Amino acid sequence: MREEIPKADFAVITGSGTFSINFPEDLRMDGVELIETGLTFETPYGESPALKLFSVGDKEVLTCRMHGWRKGVTRTSASKQLFWILKEARVKKILAEGGVGSINRLLDPGDIVIPCDFIDFTHRKDITIVGDHLLIMRQPICPQIHRELSASAQKHHEGRVFERGVYLVTEGPRFESPAEISMMSQWGADIVGQSLVPEVNLARDIGACYGGLYMVVNYAEGIVKDWSHKQLEDIFYQESQKIARILMDALILIPDLQTECGCLQFRKPTLLKE
């Protein structure tokens, strides 16, 4: 376990979309250097998941596999461990990816959605680390990250890319019932998954910008037709290189400055003083 947390302006949180490869090594991209692997740290919330530190151009990047989820650790604890590390590393921009189910009947497996809003259907209420700011979620997704992820996805994905959408986050790890999906559809949700919360909240809490792209891997229950486990598996294993390339190309183009996106204006000092 390492004591000193390295400084990095950027972080990439990988999910099921890149689960079948080693990110970023398997991309074999020029200009990408793996600096250190297997980085774990003691945090106020327990031992952190393992992270890697790599550079691309002049940017140093911390990355964590599968959102830090692992057996024996609650998902909330894993998120808080990870984001405590990102806070200490002074990360400014966070990119994420994952697989989702389609609630919107116009979305098919293989489509990519880069959401701009979310609905929290989880029970995760302890969603702060710093905890001394009012977190305004009027603009939950950083427009700079959103723009570059959209452009990179359009470049590399031969299928459809949707630049807007509402991500409804459930507690997991189970999938939803048809009745739940029907209710979520009436709420205006387009996709359903389990990772955007609490990450989007914790990013704002530590003063970092956040954005992600999500591949539709199945129809949600009761939508269009029943999904198969084989189809889910095929997408996970066939699309990993593409998702990783989209993340890396976007990462290269995203500036580390937070002056133009306006995200920091939605993090205000709390009005509740002791």
65-122 pLDDT, tens digit each: 999 999 999 999 999 999 999 999 999 999 999 999 999 999 999 999 999 999 999 9
Q: What is the mean pLDDT of residues 132-146?
A: 95
Task: Indicate the number of domains in the chain.
Answer: 1
Residue 274 lies in a domain: no
- For residue 33, what is the domain's CATH number? 3.40.50.1580
Cβ neighbours for 217, distance < 8 A, ≥ 6 positions apart: 16, 99, 100, 101, 109, 231, 232, 235, 236
- Which residue in 264, 27, 165, 268 sits closest to 12, CA to CA? 27
Is the pLDDT at 274 greater than 70, yes or no? no
Q: Give the model's confidence band at 222: pLDDT under 50 very low, under 70 low, under 90 confident, else very high.
A: very high
- Which residue in 261, 268, 244, 252 sits closest to 141, CA to CA? 261
Residue 87 lies in a domain: yes
Residue type, 23: F
Is residue 104 helix, strand or coil? coil
Q: Give the model's confidence band at 270: pLDDT under 50 very low, under 70 low, under 90 confident, else very high.
A: confident
Residue 4 lies in a domain: no
CA-based angle 202:204:206, to the nearest 5?
Answer: 70
- CA pair distance 59, 75, nearest whole angstrom: 29
CA-based angle 89:94:96, to the nearest 5?
Answer: 130
Structural domain including 232 reads 10-269
- CA pair distance 244, 236, nearest whole angstrom: 12
pTM assigned to the model? 0.95
Residue 5 lies in a domain: no
- Omega within 30 of 0 (cis) for the link into 173: yes
Residue 37 lies in a domain: yes
Residue 1 lies in a domain: no
Is residue 269 helix, strand or coil? strand
pLDDT given for residue 273 in this prediction: 65
Cβ neighbours for 145, distance < 8 A, ≥ 6 positions apart: 93, 94, 95, 209, 210, 211, 250, 254, 261
Q: What is the mean pLDDT of residues 185-212?
A: 97
